[in-house]
Amino acid sequence: MKNILEIIRSFFSAAGQKFKRKPKVEAAVNEPPITPRVKGKVDRFTIISWVLTLMIVAGLVGSTIFYKNTRAASYTPAIQPTLESAAAQPQVGVPVAGPDGGGVSSIHRGLQLKTIIPERPRYDSVIYRVSRGDAMLKIAGEFKIKYESILYVNKQMDDNPHSLKPGMELIIPPVDGLYYEWKDGDTFETVAEKFDANADDIITFPGNKVDLTDPKIEPGTLVMIPGGSRELRNWAADLQTAPRGANTGTGGGNAGNNCGGGPVASGFGWPADDHSLSGIPYGPGHLGIDISAPEGSNVYAAGSGVVTQAQGGYNYGYGNVIQIDHGNGYVTVYAHLSQINVGVCQAVGQGTLIGLSGNTGNSFGAHLHFEIRIGGTNVNPYDIVQ
């Protein structure tokens, strides 16, 4: 910049000398006396040349800035296609206008403040307090175990999944299986055989804290038997099947239920309006199905037959209960009713309204407990009706 200023100054100085008015030459005798130049006084031409120089420099700087700004503003980015779906991703690498004049598009990642901790296996039991609205199947699903495992380790339930009560504290095992108090003389092989489990699973389960170099367990130690099982109490057998009587279909010679002949079922239908389950399916310790049925919902006869039991009360946990003998070896049971609309020895057809659902007996929440028995033995109702 300094060199440019010197060049411009030299140019104007030369131009001034060229166009400077030459003094008229006269004889020396007529020449007026020369006025000496005052030191430090600047002539008018120098001032004008400096002003013009500064104006030119300012113009050059201003034009440079203007050129740069107009170039950034005149840049038009490529038109982006409209994203028709919220799941669509923006095009990466397409030029876009930025605060500094240009750039390329990229996928912006949101700042994630929550740390995701991977789920770790659990080796110790936990205590779960039952609250209103809980069901055994729901609790088991929450802890990713089978409901039978909860029955195995909670003696207060008496192997009955309907024994849940608000405020009850349940032991939830870490894995499917049961706990066993080690006794003197036990071996891993004998205990595994007793509970239909694997001896290596008992030894290697971290919660048992077995020294793998010298595997042994002291008597009195509570040991987890992974995958172990035991026979659950058949609480459904407490309510015995009540047959019609001799030579009247199911048979059995029970004098208290000699209702005589009646219709025989040729098929079975669903006993409630709702076709979904609300609690526990058919399985060990629960030889029926729990059908979703709010308090006061209609309950229908699954097939034609004769009512052999219509009894109110606790009835071994069944509450208000109805049994129907269908004359072909099948008996159906309808439990926890709030109302009974039929009487003993009454003939009913398939779909007859026999009562209303409820929450009586050993029940936790209104539903319909429905069983099907063949010759007094329970079978999965899903194999008979759908």
Between 233-242, 315-324, 376-385, the lowest mean confidence (pLDDT) is in 233-242
Contact 362, 313 (CB under 8 A): no
Residue 17 has pLDDT above 80, yes or no: no
Instruction: Supply the pLDDT for residue 29.
Output: 53
The pLDDT score that the predictor gives to residue 254 is 41
Residue 101's pLDDT band, with cuts at 50, 70 and 90, is low
pLDDT at 199 over 80: yes
Q: What is the pLDDT of residue 182?
A: 96
How many other C-beta atoms lie within 10 A of the C-beta of residue 343? 9
Distance CA 196, CA 216 (A): 20
320 forms bridges with which residues in the sheet? 337
* Residue 79 buriedness (CB in 10 A; 0-12 / 13-18 / 19+): exposed
pLDDT confidence of 99, banded at 50, 70, 90?
low
Per-residue confidence (pLDDT) for residue 250, from 0 to 100: 45
**What integer pLDDT is reported at residue 224 of this predicted model?**
97
> Is the confidence at residue 241, as pLDDT, over 90?
no
What are the residues whose beta carbons fall under 8 Å from the beta carbon of 305, sequence distance 6 or more? 249, 262, 263, 264, 265, 324, 325, 326, 327, 332, 347, 348
**Is 278 within 8 Å of 366 (Cβ atoms)?**
no
Return the residue matching tokens 């069983």: 371
Tell me how far apart the alpha carbons of residues 308 and 373 are, in angstroms, rounded to a whole number.
14
More confident residue, 259 or 199: 199
Q: Is residue 370 over pLDDT 70?
A: yes
> Model confidence over 51-95: pLDDT tens digits?
888 888 888 888 888 887 776 555 555 555 554 444 445 555 555
If one counts every other C-beta atom within 10 angstroms of the C-beta of residue 340, the result is 20
Residue with the bigger pLDDT between 46 and 290: it is: 290
- The domains located in the chain, with CATH, are 126-226 (3.10.350.10), 235-383 (2.70.70.10)
Strand partners, 357: 337
The secondary structure of 311-330, three-state, reads ECCCHHHCCEEEEEECCCCE
Distance CA 211, CA 223 (A): 14
Sign of the alpha-carbon torsion through 364, 366, 367, 368: positive
| The predicted structure's pLDDT at residue 94 | 56
Crossing angle of helices 2-19 and 44-73, rounded to 10°: 130
Is the pLDDT higher at 50 or at 229? Answer: 229
Q: Name the CA dihedral angle for 152, 155, 158, 162, rounded to a multiple of 10 degrees.
A: -80
- 4-13, 53-62, 179-188: segment of lowest average pLDDT: 4-13
Q: Is the pLDDT of residue 106 over 90?
A: no
- Token representation of residue 94: 């397409």
Mean pLDDT of the chain: 81
Q: Look up tokens 């936990």; give the residue.
A: 126
Report yes or no on whether pTM surpasses 0.85.
no
Alpha helices in the chain (DSSP H): 2-19, 44-73, 136-143, 147-153, 188-194, 199-204
Average pLDDT over residues 176-180: 96
- Quote the DSSP letter at residue 149: H
pLDDT reported for residue 277: 85
Share of the chain above pLDDT 70, in %: 74
Higher pLDDT, 314 or 107: 314
At residue 218, does pLDDT exceed 60?
yes
State the pLDDT confidence band at 252, using cuts at 50, 70 and 90.
Answer: very low
